[in-house]
C-alpha cells in the first residue's frame, strides 16, 4: 500500500466547509468562496494560496511545501447532493470475544467480498460522508481491514475505529494506523484484572492482549478513547478500571445495557443495578437524514438500532439513500404498543416530552419484554389478580 499523499482534507460538511487534519481535533471553517478557490486550485495544479499556508501553520504547525501543486498535499472533496455527513460501517460482524451483553447477539464472520467493500466506500464518499466510524463485531480481525481502512482514508474520510484492542499490537495493524492516523481509536474496557476481563469476554488471554495493544498504540502516538463497560461481572473493579483507562486516554462510562438487535433480552440481566443511569429525554436525531449505518452486506439503515426497512446499496446504488429520510420518519412514529401519552407530547413552549428512547430502541425493549422503566416514564401496569 503506497503512502498517503494528503496532509489536509478540505470538505463540505452539511452547510459548512472545513479544513481538517487527520488524527487531530482542531479544524478550520472556511467560506464557500475559499472552498471553491481550493477546489479550482486542486483541479488545475495550482499551488496552495498564502492564506491556507498561514492557516495550516497556525492551526497544526504544518508547513505546506511552497511552489508545489496544492493537490500533492491537500485533498479537496467534491460537493454532494445527498446530504449525508456521517456514517458507521460494520465491516464484519465476527468477533474474537463472546461477551454475554453484546447488543449484536449471534456474531458470524461474514462480510462482502473486497470489491463490494470498495464500492460501498465509494458510495459513502459520493454521498458526502466525511466522518466514518468503522466497527464490527471486532473490525481489526477482518482480513481486509488494513486495505479497506487505507482506502477510506485515501478518499478523505475522518476515521474512528471501535475496537476491543486485542489486535492493536500486531505490526501490520500498527503500520496501517501510523501511516494513516485515525481521528481516534475507541476501545472498550471490560475489567482491570486478568481474571475478570477474561471472564467477561470469555476469551482466555484476552486481558494480556488488550494491555499489549494499549501500550503499542500509545507508544505509536495514536489517539485513544477508553469506554468502560460496567456489568454485574466487573462492577467491583470499576474504580480500578477508571485508573487503568486514565493512563491511556479520555474516559467514558457505559452502564445501561440494551436488548440485542434481534429483540432478545439476554444482555439486560447483566446490568449492574448500582450503576444504572436515568436516561435523558429523547429529543430527536439526524438518523436517516444526514447519517446512516451500513451492515457487513451493504444494507443501509437509519442507524445501528433501526435496521429495517433497509436499503440494499449493492443492488440499488447510491440513489437508494434518498429513501432513507422517509424510512427514518416512519420508524419514529409511535407504533406497536406505544400510542402516545402526555410524557411524549411537547408542551406549549415546544419543549420535548419525556420519552427516554427513540421508537426503534423502544421497540427492541418491548420485543425483549424488558421492564418499562428502561425505556418509558410510565410505570409497569399492575398485574391482573
Query: Stretch 42-49: mean pLDDT, rounded?
Result: 96
Query: Stretch 126-154: mean pLDDT, rounded?
Result: 97
Cell numbers placing 124: 459513502
What's the rounded Cα separation, in Å, for the pair 101 and 231? 8
Beta carbons of 302 and 109 less than 8 angstroms apart: no
- Grade residue 351 by pLDDT with cuts at 50, 70 and 90: very low
Instruction: Answer whether residue 336 shows pLDDT above 70.
Output: no
Can you give the pLDDT at residue 334? 63
User: May I ask the CATH architecture of the domain 86-316?
Assistant: Alpha-Beta Barrel (3.20)
What would the DSSP string read from start to end of 32-62? HHHHHHHHHHHHHTPBPPHHHHHHHHHHH--
Q: What is the mean pLDDT of the chain?
A: 91
What's the rounded Cα separation, in Å, for the pair 51 and 312? 44
What's the rounded Cα separation, in Å, for the pair 327 and 241? 40
Instruction: Answer whether residue 281 shows pLDDT above 90.
Output: no
Instruction: Answer whether residue 128 shows pLDDT above 90.
Output: yes
Can you give the pLDDT at residue 382? 60
What would the DSSP string read from start to end of 213-274? HHHHHHHTT--EEEEEE--TTTGGGHHHHHHHHHTTSEEEEE------TTS--TTGGG--GG
Q: CA-CA-CA-CA torsion for 214, 215, 220, 226, nearest 10 degrees?
A: 30
**39: phi then psi, degrees, rounded to nearest 5:** -60, -40
- Grade residue 349 by pLDDT with cuts at 50, 70 and 90: very low
Beta carbons of 108 and 94 less than 8 angstroms apart: yes
What's the rounded Cα separation, in Å, for the pair 330 and 359? 10
Can you give the pLDDT at residue 108? 86
- Grade residue 332 by pLDDT with cuts at 50, 70 and 90: confident
Beta carbons of 202 and 99 less than 8 angstroms apart: yes
Per-residue pLDDT reduced to its tens digit, 176-212: 999 999 999 999 999 999 999 999 999 999 999 999 9
DSSP label of 287: B
Structural Rg of the chain based on CA atoms: 22
Query: Stretch 122-138: mean pLDDT, rounded?
Result: 97
Domain assignments of the chain as residue spans, ordered by start: 8-76, 86-316
Can you give the pLDDT at residue 348? 47
Query: Stretch 284-307: mean pLDDT, rounded?
Result: 95
Instruction: Answer whether residue 383 shows pLDDT above 80.
Output: no
DSSP label of 129: -
Can you give the pLDDT at residue 342? 60
Amino acid at each position: 500500500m503506497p503512502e498517503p499523499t494528503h496532509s489536509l482534507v478540505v470538505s463540505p460538511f452539511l452547510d459548512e466547509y472545513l479544513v481538517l487534519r487527520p488524527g487531530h481535533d482542531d479544524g478550520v471553517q472556511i467560506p464557500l468562496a475559499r472552498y471553491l478557490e481550493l477546489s479550482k486550485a486542486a483541479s488545475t495544479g495550482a499551488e496552495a494560496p498564502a492564506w491556507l499556508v498561514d492557516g495550516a501553520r497556525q492551526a497544526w504547525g504544518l508547513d505546506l511545501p511552497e511552489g508545489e501543486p496544492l493537490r500533492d498535499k491537500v485533498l479537496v472533496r467534491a460537493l454532494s447532493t445527498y446530504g449525508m455527513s456521517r456514517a458507521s460501517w460494520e465491516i464484519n460482524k465476527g468477533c474474537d470475544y463472546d461477551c454475554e451483553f453484546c447488543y449484536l447477539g449471534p456474531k458470524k464472520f461474514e462480510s462482502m467480498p473486497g470489491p463490494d467493500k470498495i464500492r460501498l466506500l465509494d458510495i459513502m464518499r459520493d454521498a458526502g460522508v466525511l466522518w466514518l466510524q468503522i466497527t464490527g463485531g471486532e473490525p481489526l480481525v477482518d482480513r481486509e481491514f488494513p486495505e479497506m481502512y487505507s482506502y477510506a482514508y485515501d478518499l478523505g474520510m475522518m476515521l474512528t475505529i471501535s475496537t476491543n484492542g486485542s489486535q492493536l499490537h500486531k505490526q501490520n495493524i500498527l503500520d496501517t494506523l501510523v501511516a494513516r492516523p485515525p481521528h481516534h481509536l475507541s476501545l472498550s474496557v471490560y475489567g482491570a484484572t486478568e481474571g475478570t476481563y477474561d471472564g467477561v469476554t470469555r476469551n482466555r488471554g484476552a486481558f494480556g492482549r488488550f494491555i499489549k495493544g494499549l501500550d503499542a498504540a500509545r507508544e505509536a502516538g495514536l489517539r485513544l478513547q477508553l469506554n468502560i463497560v460496567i456489568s454485574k461481572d466487573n462492577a467491583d473493579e470499576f474504580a480500578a478500571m477508571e485508573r487503568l483507562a486514565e493512563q491511556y486516554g479520555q474516559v467514558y462510562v457505559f452502564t445501561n445495557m440494551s436488548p440485542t438487535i434481534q429483540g432478545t433480552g439476554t444482555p439486560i440481566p447483566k446490568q449492574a443495578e448500582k450503576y444504572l443511569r436515568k436516561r435523558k429525554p429523547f429529543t430527536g436525531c439526524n438518523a436517516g437524514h444526514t447519517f446512516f449505518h451500513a451492515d457487513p452486506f451493504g444494507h443501509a439503515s437509519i442507524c445501528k438500532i433501526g435496521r429495517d426497512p433497509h436499503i440494499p446499496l449493492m443492488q440499488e446504488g447510491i440513489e437508494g439513500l434518498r429513501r432513507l429520510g422517509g424510512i427514518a420518519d416512519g420508524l419514529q412514529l409511535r407504533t406497536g404498543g406505544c400510542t402516545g401519552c402526555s410524557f411524549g407530547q411537547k408542551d406549549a413552549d415546544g419543549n420535548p416530552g419525556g420519552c427516554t428512547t427513540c421508537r426503534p430502541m423502544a421497540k427492541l425493549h418491548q420485543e425483549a419484554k424488558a421492564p418499562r422503566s428502561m425505556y418509558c416514564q410510565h410505570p409497569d401496569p399492575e398485574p391482573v389478580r
